[in-house]
Structure 1
């Protein structure tokens, strides 16, 4: 039986014992009522003793010991009613803590519960439902309406309408057309569609997310370990006050009342609830934080190291300007170029084809196509000879007219694609990997929220890095970097404070591991970066970094508030009890009120704070 289930049953024993004991007192059977209350308390004491021994074997010492001492002391001095009330309050507090943690983990539990177990696969005998582990790369699968996409892949015929909220935090369904990627874990809210498996199940996005979530749930924050150390101090303080009350008054009941007020301490309740609430809040916003350690570190970062391609920029070139010659319309130049480039696997060729399709252009089938690797393609399109590629390649196949105008398009951070039709230059297309929308505002916001230093670290040429940065509030630019050089920069930047590194590529993984906090662009980045990083942005939006920091800072602040207020109130209550102003029973009720208050306060970390997006739902 799980501990949470045991807590639910355990609270019923002192509750029933309290009721039956009061009934016995009503019928003037004090001896019987004392026996009932003692028996109910002993059941809780036995369960508590087992839990204390288990914790001690793990090297953990907490305030469960205070609860054990207070109940034992109450029984020893004949305060059986106080003992059973403490037992009820303790068991109820543990049950409430378990409920609060379940409430805080709701988003994560929902994520894990979405994991598909089977897939509908096409075979020689038609469709068959197979275990997810049986799906191989290249298998053709059917995703029915209401199904969760089982593995990463691409749409193969038709249009997929997907709800990606559980993965990215985006509430609006998205469309994916033929050939476009789909990620595992998203929900098909449209009609059935076919897909081709691009990865096996264990390598797919959703499986990786589940592994990271499970790791996050198992982790224990340094703050929680700090709480355990504080618990030892509080235990000592409680015993000193209880001993002093007994010594100076000669009344052992006062010592019992002091111990009762200290049971259990909000220190061990508020911290885990607030931390898990913060993790859950972040998960609901498409930000996967791998445990309490990362959550706390996020709140302390002072230096930001940014990769460029795929992080500060989109990681894919887009046509930003065009020039045409000879009277051919710009759209026609793009259509002819994209039609010819359908035969190429070059990244620029794929981008041209995608751009043309996005603009709704109808591409023709190329004939007599020839590709010069790394240079360009020539093909016959609708009876016309089309050449597309680099400036040198295309102008070498023409009379060279208008070449200077074509070169004027060139920018340090862009690529010019030249297009010739029937031996004459027809135009040029400037393709640039643009800075993400809102990047400047994000960096300024991070600066205002406590980031003292922003560093760009990229493997691209210095001229490209300078052109991309422009007016962005970046303090230092490092270019032409190998992966080990990025690690060296991260280590050097530690002199300025805790470092957060944001990247997306395999080459960023070592630097992500070296930083106090590594943040991976998980929606578009490599699996190596996502596995190495402490934080994964499941939605391809850089502004979620600011949200992650805001959530972390708020969760940590709420935990500290709860701990400070709870301990302060407990100490006041113990002093009042030491002077004999409250009885052990009243002390038990008072402490339970304090515990409920700090747990409810810790649960505030589930809600949205300043700098965060709207709450889901």
Structure 2
């Protein structure tokens, strides 16, 4: 067969499969109507009409089911729907029209119940896809033009109306934006953003209209990346689901063997039919997908995007945590933690002069110093004749005085001597130390650090309570800084001075202690995230490379939801296995009873339907209990 012919055949089967799926929504109506009509005719003494009504109802479902089975077989998938096909067909062949109609109703009802459960469970994930905008209002020559998202480029100015979903990542061009990020991060309250603040696509404008300055293409924006991750998660198949498929084939073989054995031993084909009926459908094909989809949806609701059932199962088994420091365990931004002014300058004056000079530098420490001065309401002067020495500091003139802001080497070059206790020794002990000199005299020692997140210690303790047995801090910073940061925290080891390759090696070495979860946010973390059994990336402000390499993406700028996600994963796995084994045990018991003649086909159908309903409702417990709390109760940061 030619490639074109194969493609045409696949397209044809896809069209048929789509038709079958659309028909499934109405499938329960047909056997229910036929069953009621037949019972009414039976009550009126018209057994022939009753038998005809039941037969037609069974044939209607049988036709749809046969189409599904053929489609599955063409794709190499031998499913348990084959048992339902044999039981309904057998009921008609053995002149059991009432049993056939009941089997058809139970099968169709089970399909509808499973579809409802999966739909309810996947609501949080599918809502992300449904909200994806298709067009945007772009400002062109003073007018607004509606354009497709693909036409947007960095630099475009976009009007975001009330209720609009932000189409691309960018900045507030002017005014103030009030954004609802609940569908992305789980934050219950809207967040305010001022002019020039960065905003993420996928947020909803709940304030007044504002202008957005695009900074990325739509395809490269945060929301588009999340959509791709959600679609991949929905399309993936978990190891537990594949296990169900494998055991499903074994269950199919056992069902046929037991039915054939009962027929051969007694010569009663009705017993064989009863065995087939009790096995239709099977808890294996109901419990696992409902439990896993429920868990994926529940995790998405608290701002944790898990890339499929496989990642969910791995998350449930994690025993070792390797966590990055900068931007993950800390905020990733420098903050002034200590300022010591030397006479005759006061602290405020020293800080004002240093910040005035640092306005000319783009270094992160310089920006942090300027922000600190502005927070204190200090009026800054315009620096002149500024010279920046990369890695050393800045020199220039402020208010007619020569000033220096930098490290010990810059001070040595200009012949400025600091007291021994304020020089190199303090530099070695702090995350970042800035020395300030004016007119050749030492003025101040400013210490900066990247502090631990407010919820950092609590999150590590919560992870321990979830079953994480070993915690390792992996960082490129100096050991003294790293050890000082985690002093008193439940951290078992510190690996410092690491480059990306060494960080990856640390992850590999920790595998001897159990399944490893690596948490990071930067480009340099991507190799380690990919190397771990489970990679977790902070996607709210982290690098795209980290999010792509990770198996789990935290849509909030916090580690707080991670313990809850682990609890969700472990609960889902336990409930899925519980549903499978209890459901299988009940089904097998019923099949044996049917083979021994204790159950008729009609009784078997009613029993199996009760088992299926119990299995699905049990699997949906993943959505309930502690998981039904509001995001604020789960550790997701709330807007202020």
What is the SS of the residue equivalent to 2:246?
A: helix
Q: Is the 8 A contact 1:13 1:40 kept in 2?
A: yes
Are positions 1:349 and 2:366 aligned together?
yes
Match of 2:183 in 1: 166
- Taking the aligned partners of 2:72 and 2:379, their CA distance within structure 1 comes to 68
Instruction: Map residues 288-299 of structure 1 onto 2, 5 A cutoff.
Output: 288-299=305-316
Q: CA offsets per residue over residues 80-120 of structure 1, 9 Å max, x none?
A: 01001101110111111111111111101111122222233
Q: What's the C-alpha RMSD, in Å, of the aligned pairs? A: 2.6
- Taking the aligned partners of 1:583 and 1:556, their CA distance within structure 2 comes to 35
Are positions 1:39 and 2:63 aligned together?
no
Match of 2:566 in 1: 549
Match of 2:591 in 1: 574
Q: CA offsets per residue over residues 191-235 of structure 1, 9 Å max, x none?
A: 233332221111111111010000001011110110111112222
- How many residue pairs match? The answer is 617
Task: Evaluate the alpha carbon distance shift between residue 58 and residue 424 of structure 1 in structure 2; reply closer, same or farther with a 3 A threshold.
Answer: same
The match for 1:116 among 112, 126, 133 is 133
Q: Is the 8 A contact 1:406 1:427 kept in 2?
A: no
The match for 2:231 among 214, 226, 231 is 214
Greater alpha carbon shift after TM alignment, 109-118 vs 365-374: 365-374
Match of 1:152 in 2: 169
Q: CA offsets per residue over residues 44-102 of structure 1, 9 Å max, x none?
A: 22221221222233332232111111111111111101001101110111111111111
Greater alpha carbon shift after TM alignment, 60-69 vs 437-446: 437-446
What is the SS of the residue equivalent to 1:239?
A: helix
Q: Is the 8 A contact 1:4 1:95 kept in 2?
A: no
Match of 1:24 in 2: 41
What is the SS of the residue equivalent to 1:456?
A: strand
How far has the Cα of 1:150 moved from its partner? 1.9
Match of 2:6 in 1: none
Instruction: Map residues 66-465 of structure 1 onto 2, 5 A cutoff.
Output: 66-326=83-343, 328-359=345-376, 361=378, 363-381=380-398, 386-393=403-410, 400=417, 404-405=421-422, 409-410=426-427, 412-421=429-438, 424-465=441-482
Task: Evaluate the alpha carbon distance shift between residue 481 and residue 270 of structure 1 in structure 2; reply closer, same or farther with a 3 A threshold.
Answer: same
Q: CA offsets per residue over residues 283-313 of structure 1, 9 Å max, x none?
A: 1111010000000011111222222222222
- Taking the aligned partners of 2:373 and 2:301, their CA distance within structure 1 comes to 35
Q: CA offsets per residue over residues 121-168 of structure 1, 9 Å max, x none?
A: 333234333322222222233333322222112223322222221111
Q: Is the 8 A contact 1:320 1:432 kept in 2?
A: yes
Are positions 1:560 and 2:577 aligned together?
yes
Task: With the length of structure 1 as denominator, give the TM-score of the two structures.
Answer: 0.93
Task: Evaluate the alpha carbon distance shift between residue 31 and residue 124 of structure 1 in structure 2; reply closer, same or farther with a 3 A threshold.
Answer: same
Task: Evaluate the alpha carbon distance shift between residue 357 and residue 605 of structure 1 in structure 2; reply closer, same or farther with a 3 A threshold.
Answer: farther
Task: With the length of structure 2 as denominator, give the TM-score of the two structures.
Answer: 0.89
Q: Is the 8 A contact 1:60 1:228 kept in 2?
A: no
Q: Is the 8 A contact 1:391 1:416 kept in 2?
A: no
Task: Evaluate the alpha carbon distance shift between residue 159 and residue 377 of structure 1 in structure 2; reply closer, same or farther with a 3 A threshold.
Answer: farther
- Taking the aligned partners of 2:423 and 2:195, their CA distance within structure 1 comes to 34
Q: Is the 8 A contact 2:298 2:627 kept in 1?
A: no
- Taking the aligned partners of 1:425 and 1:395, their CA distance within structure 2 comes to 12
Task: Evaluate the alpha carbon distance shift between residue 356 and residue 15 of structure 1 in structure 2; reply closer, same or farther with a 3 A threshold.
Answer: farther
Q: Is the 8 A contact 2:504 2:527 kept in 1?
A: yes
Match of 2:535 in 1: 518
Match of 1:61 in 2: 78
How far has the Cα of 1:383 moved from its partner? 6.0
- Taking the aligned partners of 1:608 and 1:335, their CA distance within structure 2 comes to 54
- Taking the aligned partners of 1:354 and 1:156, their CA distance within structure 2 comes to 21
> Which residues of structure 1 form unaligned runs of 5+?
none
How far has the Cα of 1:455 moved from its partner? 2.4
- Taking the aligned partners of 1:356 and 1:124, their CA distance within structure 2 comes to 40
Task: Evaluate the alpha carbon distance shift between residue 123 and residue 503 of structure 1 in structure 2; reply closer, same or farther with a 3 A threshold.
Answer: same
Q: Is the 8 A contact 2:20 2:68 kept in 1?
A: no
Q: Is the 8 A contact 1:550 1:611 kept in 2?
A: no
